[in-house]
Every structure is written in C-alpha cells, then in structure tokens.
Chains A and B, each alone.
Chain A
Amino acid sequence: MVQNRMLTSVSSAAGAEPPAFPMPRTCPFDPPAEYAALRIERPVTQVRLPTGQLAWLVTRYEDVRRLLTDPRVSSDREHPNLPLTEPVTPESRRRIAAVGRSLIGLDPPEHAPRRRMLVTEFTVRRIQALRPHIQQVVDGCIDELLAGPRPADLVAALSLPVPSMVICELLGVPYSDREFFERCSTAQLRRSIPAEERQRTTGELRAYLDRLVTAKEAAPGEDLLGRLIVHNRETPVFDHELLVGLAMLLLVAGHESTANMISLGVVGLLEHPEQLAQITADPAAVDMAVEELLRYFCIVDAQPRVAAADIEIGGVTIPAGDGLLIAFAAANRDEEAFPAASTMDLGRGARNHVAFGYGIHQCLGQNLAREELQIVFSTLFARVPGLRLAARVEELPFKKDSNVYGIDQLPVTW
C-alpha cells in the first residue's frame, strides 16, 4: 500500500493563478492529493484547464449531490464554456456535442424521453436475468486463463473480454470486432494522445457504428439496438445520427469503465488479503465489497457541467455561463460522508457513493456493471485461490493520463 495521507496544501493567495486541472495522482490508489485540502479550504474553487478555460471545481460530497440535482446546472455538451480536460480539434468538438445530444448532454425536458426508451433494458430485473450468461462468460475466460502460460496479463484475459463480450451481446455488436473498438475507445479517453490522432480513431469508430446502425435499420435483430430501432418507429425520439451517438456512448461506456474497475478491484483485493479472505469466506459479502471498491477507486474522476444561472454554493457565487467540474473522486473521499474515507473497508456498507454520478444522468449501466463486478470477484478468487501479482504495485502501468482511471496491463500468476 502506498502511503500519501498528508494534506498537500493549495496556494490560496487572492488573485493567484488558479491551480491546473486535471491534478496529478501521486498514489495509484488515491485521487489527486490536492483534493483533500481543497475540500476543507476551498470546496468550490476555480481551476485552469489545458484548453486555457477556467472552471469551478466542486469537491465536497454534499455540494456535489446538491449541484447534480439542481435544475440550474446544465449538461449541455455544446456550450462553449463546457470544461474540456484536453485540447480538441473542431471536428472532435462537434462529435462530443453529437454524442451528448443522444443522452448524456441533454437537460430536462429533452433528457427523460430518451432515457425512458433505454431504461427498460437496464432495470434490476432485466439485468438479473443476464446473470447466468455473465457467469458463463466469466467462467470461459477463467478456463482460458488457467489453460494458458504464467504469468498472464489479467487485463487481456479477463478485465476487457468480460465486459466487451457482455456489451457486444447486449447491443448486437459483433465481438469479432473487439480489437478495433477497444483500441478506439481507449484512445478517446487518453489525454496524452495527440488531438488529431484522437479525432481519427473516434472518426473510425463513428463510421463503423454508422454502418452497423444502418444495417440494423434495414433488418433490426433481437438485440438492444434492434429493439430500440423498432420501438423508435412507434414513438420517434432518436434520428439516425442520435442512434449512432447512442451506440457509441453505450459501447464505450459499456466496456471500458467496467474493465478498469475489474483490474483496479483485483489489485485492491490482492493488496488487502485479510479483507479478501472475508469475501471468499462469505459470498454474500461480495455485493457490499463491490460498492466499496467503486467508492474507493472512483474511476470517473470528474464530469463537466455549465451553470445556467447564478448559483451560490460553498461560499462563492458561480456566475451564469461558467463551467463546472463535479469531482466524484473528491466527493467519495469526503470524511463528512464516509468516516475514514481514505481507508478501503469492504464491510463499510455504504451504497451512497457517487462513483456512478447522481442526478438524472446517474449511470444507466450501473446495475449491469455491479453484476459483472460481483460475478468476476466472487468467481476469480474461488477458482484461482493462489492468484497474485507478478509485478510490484508501484510498477503497474496505471492510466495516469486517462479520463477514466485504470490499468493498461496487469501481470498475474498463481
């Protein structure tokens, strides 16, 4: 376990240049160290983005939940002041807006009709019905892992294929194209990849999904996209462009984030053998453990918003039109909400974390992600009891430059 519990103080002189955002992670397990001091000293404070933009960073749990349910806070991805964590080309800017228009960038009243077309596919009951299928997928991956050489890369063997296979099956995307879409998705989220290259890979993925949606419009099959196309003919809320944007959102969000949570969760569990022993002894404890791992690692660091009116919060007034960054990762470590917040405690029993966000945009796929994580952790450690890291934690390639935190490779042996 890497220790970094000291409060890194932030310069607070009036008129000083605002701190840069994204802030660097110094410990692979913890969010940027600056968040702890900001939460106490300046819970709502301006930061400078790589694009030169200024935005208000919100770090306290209560403020985060309050703003995410405030109708004056907009998710409009077309707004010129929407905070961007990396410079983008004008073409990519248009694409971000286009994907946003499908769901994640909509405000009331446009958001609800689109979300309602999708929630039937993600209800607790529908997701529970997928359990045997997901179990099969996980068992298949572990069979292959055990039959293969040691050490093995767990990202390639388990973390990526499980959510990729599940989302492909659900959406009706051919799994044989996984290498292509996994590469494009990862590239989209990496700040260190040049803007032109990100634009090219996103363009390739968009063109691919455009062809796929066109084929499904001609012959809708028995999958989520097919059902959506049929349903949409009865009550039209999506046009072709929006369907492509939505397919993109579901495919990328549907595999990349869950994959990262699997890898980080495995490392977190292996680093705390006493806690791991508790969940292997009591399978019912795994659901709670998953909630704590989601809180502790909080892979989506922050999401952008725009103030649609003046908003008073955290001792400041945010003027209408200013950008906001809602820091889920900071809120999930707020001592006011989670005593001993920096300790990973699998028995904590707190489901009120904001790792899936809060408000109307709270993750559509959260119950699918939960179920995948529960099945992976309970099966992996039961079937491979001797699992251990084949590298030192400090040497693992953590995704320090990614908007969704994770690990690129995870060498393990048993």
Chain B
Amino acid sequence: MRIVMDREYCVGSGQCVLSAPELFDQSEEDGRVLLRTARPEPAAIDRSRIAVDLCPSRALSLADD
C-alpha cells in the first residue's frame, strides 16, 4: 500500500494532518501537504484511507503496489 499525492491539487485544508499526523505534514512555505512516509505501517492504513476520503481536493490516493 502506497500513498500517492499530487501537490498541484492540494488546498492546504489540513484534513490529512488531522487524520494521520504520523503520515502527513504541511509545508511551512506554502501550507501544502508533505508526506512523512509513502508506505503506512499496517496500523496506520485505516487512518490513511480516512485521510484520502476527507481530502477535499482529491490530492491524495492509494496505490496497491
């Protein structure tokens, strides 16, 4: 399971950071999403799914590889 982000779409809502702070951060420069890790631990997979669902701008998705 891999988290894929497209920063061009990010609107800096912070929903991902609130859902899974161990996976996501926001840049100091432009407030957009930063990935702490692209491969969530098994325990964090549910939280990464929630983050993807809550992301308002569809900047996040999950890949199966």
Chain A interface residues (CB < 8 Å from chain B): 68-69, 112, 115-116, 118-125, 127, 351-352, 357-360, 362-363, 366-367
Contact = CB atoms under 8 A, between A and B. Distances in A.
A360 B11 contact: yes
- The 10 A-B residue pairs whose C-beta atoms are closest, nearest first, are A119-B31, A119-B12, A362-B56, A124-B14, A123-B26, A124-B17, A120-B31, A358-B56, A123-B31, A360-B11
B54 A351 contact: yes
B13 A120 contact: no
Contacts of A120: 12, 28-31
A187 B18 CA distance: 34
A351 B50 contact: yes
Contacts of B13: 362-363, 366
Contacts, number: 67
Given A119-B11, A351-B19, A124 B57 contact: no
A125 B58 CA distance: 22
Interface of B: 8, 11-15, 17-19, 21, 26, 28-32, 50, 53-54, 56-58
B39 to A, nearest CB: 22
B14 A362 contact: no
Contacts of B56: 68-69, 357-360, 362
Contacts of A119: 11-12, 26, 30-32
Nearest to A68: B56
B58 to A, nearest CB: 6
A117 B11 CA distance: 11
A363 B11 CA distance: 10
B31 A122 contact: yes
A115 B19 contact: no
A236 B64 CA distance: 41
Contact of A352 (B28, B54, B57): B54
Nearest to A115: B11
B14 A367 contact: yes
